[in-house]
Chain A
């Protein structure tokens, strides 16, 4: 398995993602430019990563312009063939704008840019992960029916919780509906999350919880549909 990291004008977590995948997780990484459209070096076992940042200056809406870049047309095709796609932060916003994931990310309910560690948990898992967030538009929104379907199909990857793993209003850093921090599509090959696991994969950074997120998503089997 190898990874391709797309660089848009305004991406600013692309280097973090590339460094983490290469040096901390020992993966082969190819850097992709938003104006190119060639993904022929990837198979559906590989993963295209959309990193965090402010693609196209977040103009109009976060991710709205990036979604129409040449590379994104290939990424959408790749995802529809079953290839893995992973969006973090701005990458998650782009995936929602592209329609590869349902819903949208709105301005944080408290209007402030949130930059801190948060705690995450899967629905069924015991373990609580400490992962940093850094966003101004991370409030996950979808209509009630979509939210119900996401939860029924177990498409919610992570919920914001407190340190004990309890889903509480206080633990919600941005007003996301149902404390949703990350989701996947129904086919379970497209993943998006607001928190930054790539910033938590190294002893030097004092946090290795991000490794377990990458492990769960890519290196061991992702939970099957129930």
Chain B
């Protein structure tokens, strides 16, 4: 079975995200003052051949731990779709 796996890689919550800060400033300049914070990460899509959604998730987890995310600065969340 072929699964679409979506991975969100985000900067750790207590880490300064200068990119998000710059975008927040830009939104403020647009007059969108109700937006209080912006954090920017990566969205990664994988196509995974696996026997079950759980297997697809564990493959994506291994890929995230080994390469796609750096736990020193990032955390990740995985969503599996058929």
Residues of A at the B interface (CB closer than 8 Å) are 60-61, 64, 68, 96-97, 102-104, 106-111, 141-142, 175
CB-CB contacts below 8 Å: B30-61 with A:
none
B1 within 8 A of A: no
User: Which residue of B11, B67, B68 has the most chain A CB atoms within 10 A of its CB atom?
Assistant: B67
| Other-chain residue from A60, A102, A110, A142 in contact with B18 (beta carbon distance below 8 A) | A110
A125–B72 alpha-carbon span in the complex (Å): 30
A102: chain B residues within 8 A (beta carbon): 72
B21: chain A residues within 8 A (beta carbon): 111
Given A141-B73, A142-B72, CB of A107 within 8 Å of CB of B67: no
CB-CB contacts below 8 Å: B1-33 with A:
11, 15-16, 18-19, 21-22
B69 to chain A, nearest CB (A): 9
Q: Is B16 a contact of A175 with CB atoms below 8 Å?
A: yes
A36–B15 alpha-carbon span in the complex (Å): 37
Q: Is A64 a contact of B70 with CB atoms below 8 Å?
A: yes
Would you list 30 pairs from A and B whose C-beta atoms are within 8 A, ordered by A residue?
A60-B67, A61-B70, A64-B67, A64-B70, A68-B67, A96-B72, A97-B70, A102-B72, A103-B72, A104-B70, A104-B72, A104-B73, A106-B11, A106-B15, A106-B16, A106-B73, A107-B18, A107-B19, A108-B18, A109-B16, A109-B18, A111-B18, A111-B19, A111-B22, A141-B15, A141-B72, A141-B73, A142-B72, A175-B16, A175-B18
A185–B22 alpha-carbon span in the complex (Å): 34
A103–B71 alpha-carbon span in the complex (Å): 10
A177: nearest chain-B partner, CB-CB: B16
A3–B22 alpha-carbon span in the complex (Å): 42
